[in-house]
Amino acid sequence: MKFLCKECKEIKDIYKVKFTMSSRLATLVCKDAVCCDEYMEQIMTEEYEGMPEIRRNDSAMDKGDKLWNDFKYNNTEK
């Protein structure tokens, strides 16, 4: 995602973004997008429009499938 500083007009490109709620601004802000002691503003580009894609690693999926299969097996009529 691209972020723009309102003060000095610097642009920062951050790949992994962690959002947090700012009580002072009453909005979501990126923790790592700080310049001139202020949070930077996100620049909306075509690349980041729409719903983000969530990716899981295989180990997390395997555990989820095992739990779901155990639940189905134990909670179905036999």
Q: Do 42 and 27 touch, CB atoms closer than 8 A?
A: no
SS3 43: strand
Q: Which residue has the higher pLDDT, 13 or 65?
A: 13
**What stretches of the chain show up as alpha helix (H) in DSSP?**
58-74
> What's the pLDDT score for residue 8?
92
How far are the Cα atoms of 9, 37, 38, 53, 59 from residue 17, in angstroms, in the given order? 20, 18, 17, 13, 23
From 33, 54, 31, 52, select the one nearest 42 (Cα to Cα).
33
11-40 tens-digit pLDDT: 988 888 888 887 777 788 888 888 898 888
Question: How far apart (Å, rounded) are the C-alpha atoms in residues 6 and 4?
Answer: 6
> What's the pLDDT score for residue 37?
86
Q: What is the mean predicted confidence (pLDDT) over 46-71?
A: 64
